């Protein structure tokens, strides 16, 4: 199995951190943002029969969490391939 | 067939299944006992994690809490799912790469100290024991309500079942039973929800039904609900904030960090073969959990509506007590529903004003347990709910007991007291530790301490303030030292415990509370259950401060941290 040089390992970690940071922003925005801090503003709009802010708090944030984790899994699998450190 | 017979049949069939699985999946080595041989498929592990995670609180209590809190109940929905995002990205892959058996073992190695490992064991046991009490109580209660056996007999039967598969099979037996338990509980949760959604809105998908119009009218379900509750003086369902925006923020974040830091969930990710399986497995777990967690708000809203419309079918004309439906009588017997006719007019007046409200007791749990009866669903659905509630409580109890047992046999006995014992001896010790843990949890179930009700939420605060920060710093920093981690964990868990005790009493004995449980005395209005996040901040701050003034970690610790960040070269779990 491939062993990364310290520089490559460092690069790999930086790329991973950057991906995590981006996804954590999405995680924060859908739950704490749309579901809590901005809920009153968003409740002026509707999605189906739901008030939008209420929908984010009780439905939308959860759907987004699922998407985030699967997206991270896919991106990391691609990153592993790029660095030649795929597990068999 | 009478309901009682049907319930015995359904619950008996699920128990027979769990025992069959136990006989088939006995553990032959410590590696099988602690991490199921690290050979579980990620989807299967996702399912097992979902059952491990969803406890009696998720299955029985959560929808009821949301039904009476409305929008404020969202803290549980977001908090108990959002933690998996943190777990999947920030913890699980690296801990799987580290590849050993327990959470304290990682903390001990990363912070190069048996002291750190011992403190981690202490935090683990405090979190897991507070959590397991709630499950034991759930098992006893489910038995006594559905099967009409008394609480202690019910608890004893539940303990025997767990004993059978957990002692024989360890993590391996627990994993396969949890997969079966997930299927039972998700089926039991969604079937009544689908029926009720169809009844109320003609839409079979509860998640869409909650956002639809009521059958045979143009009124939206949620608008109708808002109107009914405000007419009776309650706050509007869809906008009822829990205490304050800051409190909701802190509560949600505490539950998320606690979710990511609970050891019985983390060790589930040690059971998959590869690092990338740990990542995808977290996704599958979250997906399986989301099926229940997006159905719960629909169950909550619809049950509240059904309940209100039963008590007051036409606005201004409450139901007569003598004409109450059968389910009302059934649940009055259990003490979960209570009516007192203050003005002696024979009518059931229900409202937000305590002076005129005559529904003196409405237990949250009734919303899920009595829901099928309120909606008039067939008996087999009610029997299914009983089996589902038991599956949820048993699966979580087993996971927690394994976390406790492996901390005792692997971290304390093998790690500190007798490192020389053979694999066979350790396996025997782990089985004995498991048996002892079940006996201990059973004892607490038979003699529930006064604080049993508050324990599940407390477990999250404790995990968020002790284990979660230690793991984060262990993975993301090479600079945090042994002294820093130990001081941080102790400071975090103490601050959280003190805050809870000072407002709710030492060990929840309310007379010993020295600051009183009232919002005016709360730190920035944050309720005790939401305080874990403050404890976590204290933990991080103390750890970094102490690390600055102590000698940096040795070189091999930096090598360890570098190696867990890259997936290849992952040693198989348990190869020491």
Over residues B143-161, mean pLDDT: 83
What residues of A are in contact with residue B243 (Cβ under 8 Å)? none
> How confident is the model at residue B76, as a pLDDT?
94
Percentage of chain B lying above the pLDDT 90 cut: 64
User: Could you read off the pLDDT of B383-394 as tens digits, one per residue?
Assistant: 898 899 999 999
| Rounded Cα gap, residues B30 and A68, in angstroms | 35
pLDDT in tens, B268-324: 999 999 999 999 999 999 999 999 999 999 999 999 999 998 888 888 889 999 999
Q: What is the pLDDT of residue B134?
A: 81
- Whether pLDDT at B403 is above 90: yes
Q: Which helix (H) or strand (E) holds B359?
A: strand B359-362
Q: Is the dihedral of CA B93, B99, B105, B111 positive or negative?
A: negative
Average pLDDT, chain B: 89
**pLDDT given at position B326:** 85
Q: DSSP label at B466? A: T
Tell me the residue length of chain B: 576
B499 vs A: CB within 8 A:
no
Question: Are B472 and B94 spatial neighbours (Cβ–Cβ below 8 Å)?
Answer: no
pLDDT score for B429: 94
**How buried is residue B355: exposed, middle or buried, by Cβ count under 10 Å (0-12/13-18/19+)?**
exposed
Cross-chain residue pair B77–A77, CB shorter than 8 Å: no
Give residue B530's pLDDT.
87
CB–CB of A36 and B248 under 8 A? Answer: yes
In this structure, are strands B337-339 and A46-47 parallel, antiparallel, or unpaired? Answer: unpaired
In chain B, % of residues over pLDDT 70 = 94
Distance CA B418, CA B410 (A): 10
The minimum CA-CA distance between A28 and chain B, rounded to whole Å, is 9
**Structure confidence at residue B550 (pLDDT):** 96
Pick the range with the lowest mean pLDDT from B80-94, B239-253, B514-528, B556-570. B514-528
Q: Is the pLDDT of residue A16 over 60?
A: yes
pLDDT on residue B133: 84
Q: What is the pLDDT of residue B513?
A: 57
pLDDT for position B140: 81
User: Band of the pLDDT at B330, cuts 50, 70, 90?
Assistant: confident
| Nearest C-alpha neighbor of B197 from the set B183, B180, B211, B179 | B211
Which element (helix H / strand E) includes B475?
helix B467-476
Q: Which of A50, A59, A73 sits opposite B280 (nearest CB)?
A: A73
Read off the pLDDT band of B1 (50, 70, 90): confident
Question: What span, in angstroms and rounded, lies between the C-alpha atoms of A69 and B275?
Answer: 14
Place B572 in a pLDDT band, splitting at 50, 70 and 90: very low
Q: Is B309 on the interface with A (CB under 8 A)?
A: no
Under a CB-based contact definition with an 8 Å cutoff, are residues B488 and B539 in contact? yes
Residue contact B293–A36, C-beta within 8 A: no
Q: Mean pLDDT, to the nearest integer, of B34-45?
A: 94
Per-residue pLDDT at B524 exceeds 80? no
Q: pLDDT category, B26, cuts 50, 70, 90?
A: confident
The residue of chain A with its CA nearest to that of B201 is: A49
Average pLDDT over residues B249-276: 95
Residue A84 has pLDDT above 70, yes or no: yes
What is the complex's ipTM, to 2 decimals? 0.96
The whole-number pLDDT of residue B453 equals: 52
Distance (Å) of CA B230 to CA B212, B248, B308, B367, B444: 20, 22, 12, 20, 42
On the question of pLDDT at B61 being above 80, the answer is yes
- Please check whether residue A78 touches B, CB under 8 A: no
Instruction: Summarize the confidence of residues B165-184 as an average pLDDT.
Output: 93
- Inter-chain residue contact A49 with B287, CB threshold 8 Å: no
B573 has a pLDDT exceeding 60: no
Banded pLDDT at B519 (limits 50, 70, 90)? low
**Residue among A36, A49, A73 whose CB faces B279 most closely:** A73
pLDDT of B116 over the 50 cut = yes
**Mean pLDDT calculated for residue range B199-225:** 94
pLDDT reported for residue B361: 87
Mean pLDDT of B467-484: 96
Q: How far is CA A38 from CA A41, A45, B282, B331, B545, in A?
A: 5, 12, 29, 40, 35
- Residue B470, strand partner residues: none
Q: Which residue is associated with the tokens 């979250």?
A: B286
pLDDT classification of B509: cutoffs 50, 70, 90: low
In Å, how far are B183, B203, B376, B378, B410 from B384, measured between CA atoms? 12, 22, 15, 10, 38
Please check whether residue B224 is in contact with residue B305, taking contact to mean a CB–CB distance below 8 angstroms. yes
Q: Which residues of chain A lie closer than 8 angstroms to B210, CB-CB?
A: 49-50
Q: Per the structure block, which two tokens stand in for B368? A: 């899920």
Do the Cβ atoms of B157 and B143 come closer than 8 Å?
yes
Rounded distance, CA B307 to CA B520, Å?
Answer: 33
- Looking at the predicted structure, is the pLDDT value of residue B335 above 90? no
Question: Is residue B522 scored above 90 in pLDDT?
Answer: no
Q: Which domains does chain B have, with CATH numbers?
A: 3-299+374-447 (1.10.4160), 308-366 (no CATH)
Contact B133, B455 (CB under 8 A): yes
Cβ contacts of residue A28 below 8 Å, gap of 6+?
Answer: none
Reported as a pLDDT band with limits 50, 70 and 90, residue B444 is: confident
Q: Report how far apart, in Å, the C-alpha atoms of B222 and of each of B192, B212, B228, B238, B392 are.
A: 19, 8, 10, 8, 29
Query: B175-195: per-residue pLDDT in tens?
Result: 999 999 999 999 999 999 999
Q: What secondary structure letter does DSSP report for B73?
A: G
pLDDT at B521: 65
The answer to whether A38 contacts chain B (CB < 8 Å) is no
Question: Chains A, B: CB contacts under 8 A, how many?
Answer: 141
Query: Which A positions 44-63 lie with beta carbon below 8 A of chain B?
Result: 47-51, 54-55, 57-59, 61-63
pLDDT band at B508 (very low <50, low <70, confident <90, very high): low
User: Which segments of B54-202 does DSSP mark as H helices, in order?
Assistant: 56, 62-69, 74-86, 92-98, 103-110, 114-146, 151-201
pLDDT confidence band for B60 (50 / 70 / 90):
confident
Inter-chain touch B276–A87, beta carbons under 8 Å: yes
Q: CB–CB of B565 and A23 under 8 A? A: no
The Cα–Cα gap between B555 and B462 comes to 31
């Amino acid at each position: 199995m491939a062993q990364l040089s310290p520089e490559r390992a460092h690069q790999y970690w930086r790329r991973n951190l950057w991906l995590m940071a981006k996804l954590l922003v999405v995680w924060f925005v859908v739950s704490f943002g749309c579901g809590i801090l901005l809920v009153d503003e968003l409740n002026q709009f509707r999605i189906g029969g739901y008030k939008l802010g209420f929908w984010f708090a009780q439905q939308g944030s959860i759907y987004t969490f699922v998407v985030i984790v699967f997206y991270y899994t896919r991106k990391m699998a691609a990153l592993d391939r790029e660095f030649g450190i795929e597990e068999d | 067939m009478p309901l009682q017979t049907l319930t015995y049949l359904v619950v008996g069939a699920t128990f027979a299944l769990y025992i069959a699985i136990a006989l088939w999946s006995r553990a032959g080595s410590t590696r099988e006992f602690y991490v199921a041989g690290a050979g579980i498929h990620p989807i299967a592990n996702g399912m097992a994690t979902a059952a491990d995670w969803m406890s009696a609180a998720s299955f029985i209590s959560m929808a009821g809490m949301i039904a009476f809190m409305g929008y404020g109940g969202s803290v549980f929905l977001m908090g108990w799912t959002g933690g998996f995002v943190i777990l999947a990205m920030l913890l699980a892959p690296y801990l799987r790469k580290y590849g050993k058996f327990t959470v304290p073992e990682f903390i001990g190695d990363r912070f190069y100290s048996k002291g750190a490992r011992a403190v981690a064991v202490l935090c683990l046991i405090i979190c897991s024991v507070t959590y397991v009490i709630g499950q034991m109580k759930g098992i006893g209660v489910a038995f006594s309500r559905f099967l009409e056996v008394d609480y202690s007999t019910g608890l004893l039967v539940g303990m025997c079942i767990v004993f059978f598969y957990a002692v024989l099979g360890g993590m391996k037996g627990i994993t396969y039973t949890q997969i079966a338990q997930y299927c039972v509980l998700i089926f039991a949760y969604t079937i009544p929800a689908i029926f009720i959604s169809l009844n109320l809105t003609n839409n079979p998908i509860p998640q869409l039904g909650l956002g639809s119009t009521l059958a045979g009218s143009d009124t939206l379900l949620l608008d109708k609900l808002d109107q009914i509750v405000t007419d009776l003086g309650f706050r509007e369902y869809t906008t009822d904030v829990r205490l304050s925006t800051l409190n909701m923020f802190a509560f949600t974040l505490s539950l998320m960090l606690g979710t990511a830091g609970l050891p019985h969930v983390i060790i589930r990710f040690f059971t998959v073969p590869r690092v990338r399986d740990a990542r995808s497995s977290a996704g599958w777990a979250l997906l399986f959990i989301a099926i229940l967690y997006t159905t719960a708000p629909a169950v909550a809203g619809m049950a509240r509506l059904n309940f209100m419309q039963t008590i007051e079918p036409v606005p201004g004309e409450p139901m007569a007590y003598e004409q109450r439906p059968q389910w009302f009588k059934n649940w009055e017997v259990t003490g979960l529903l209570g009516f007192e006719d203050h003005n002696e007019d024979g009518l059931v007046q229900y409202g937000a004003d305590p002076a005129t409200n005559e529904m003196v007791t409405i237990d949250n749990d009734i919303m899920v347990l009595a829901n099928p009866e309120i909606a008039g669903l067939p008996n087999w659905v009610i029997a299914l709910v009983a089996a589902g509630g038991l599956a949820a409580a048993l699966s979580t109890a087993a996971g927690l007991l394994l976390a406790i047992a492996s901390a005792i046999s692997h971290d304390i006995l093998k790690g500190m007291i007798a490192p020389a014992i053979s694999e066979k001896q350790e396996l025997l010790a782990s089985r004995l530790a498991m048996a002892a843990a079940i006996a201990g949890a059973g004892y607490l179930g038979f003699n529930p301490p006064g604080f049993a009700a508050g324990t599940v939420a407390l477990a999250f605060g404790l995990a968020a303030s002790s284990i979660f920060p230690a793991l984060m710093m262990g993975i993301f920093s090479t600079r945090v030292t042994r002294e820093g981690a130990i001081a941080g964990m102790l400071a975090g868990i103490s601050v959280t415990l003190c805050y809870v005790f000072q407002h709710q009493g030492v060990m929840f004995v309310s007379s010993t509370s020295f600051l009183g449980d009232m919002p005016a005395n709360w730190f920035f209005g944050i309720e005790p259950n939401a305080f874990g996040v403050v404890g976590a901040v204290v933990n991080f701050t103390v750890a970094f401060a102490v690390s600055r003034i102590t000698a940096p970690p040795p070189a091999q610790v930096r090598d360890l941290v570098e190696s867990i960040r890259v997936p290849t070269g992952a040693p198989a779990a348990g190869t020491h």
